[in-house]
Structure 1
Amino acid sequence: MDTMTLTKVAAGLFGAWLILLMGKFAAEEIYHSGLHGEASYVIEVADAGGAEVEDAVPFEEVLASADAASGAKVFKKCSSCHKVEQGANATGPYLYAVVGRNVDAAEGFKYSGALEKVADVWSPENLNSFLTNPKGFAPGTSMGFKGLKKVEDRANVIAYLQSIAN
């Protein structure tokens, strides 16, 4: 096999790869451009009751009855990225005295900028919203955690975070 044959094979492979990438790019542009128009008809359906209904109990009441010891157990999910010692940043910022602290106040941690747009202070209510769905609360956040679905778990974690600062 000579150099010319090798060059032709390489050019064929790279050309095919380039055409594939250009086709992918064009397909994404067409799909996201809105050229496909509106739906021609909409089928109305009755609510099947599949959505979860939030409890009518206010979060403040759930937080008042929260257990910090249970929160420490739930916090183990968070401990792979967050530490509770002051100044001990890991993948995420340290959470010592986080309740009541400014959202971007962990010394030495570089924030993504998404949190500063939605909240100023980590109040229990802001923590509750963030822990429910981090990406929903602060779109663009670099936190990859899916969230805590149970309100009791969120309240217990917040009670635990409040207890370690005292």
Structure 2
Amino acid sequence: MAKQLKQWQVTELMAKWSTENATPQSEPPANPPVIPFKHPKPPRRVRRQDPKTGKMPAVKVYGFPFPDHVLEAWCDLVGLHPNKALQDRMPYALEMIAASTPWCGWDRSRLWAIVKGPPKEGFGYLKLLIVGSNETASDLQNANNAARVQAVREIIGDLEIEPAWYWRNHNFN
């Protein structure tokens, strides 16, 4: 009668085979390759659900990035609470910029997004004034609207920031 093995039991032959065929642990490379940051390319169509997986792709947004030093320069340019720290002026500045846009409705929170900036400039996460996105057909048309870009340039003045495409980041891990 054949000897029955329980699931957790290991025979001598199995132990010998596993030690002979084990691959050695390798050290991770000292200098891992650095992948350069690439801005997302403009979308060609509105985002749709992937028919194979059923997942929605990430949202691409087109807009003006506002790192802290640019936001502080805008506050100084406008003269917004010059005696306060940037953390105290930032909510007012974001609200004033959003309220100044001609297409702004009652929900100004939809105009701003948090995006991951280029690592070479050390920005980390940026506040982005959204001009357009690829969520709907009208949002995608707004992204290619030169009048909207010009309207934002008139609001922010000469701060030398250019609009670009970014991935909208919803999880901050």
Please state which band the TM-score falls in when normalised by the shorter chain: under 0.3
Q: Greater relative contact order: 1 or 2 (C-alpha under 8 angstroms, separation 6 or more)?
A: 2
The structure with the largest helix share of the pair is: 1
The structure with the largest strand share of the pair is: 2
Question: Highest CA radius of gyration, 1 or 2?
Answer: 2
Query: Taking structure 2 as the reference length, what is the TM-score of the superposition?
Result: 0.23
Query: Taking structure 1 as the reference length, what is the TM-score of the superposition?
Result: 0.24
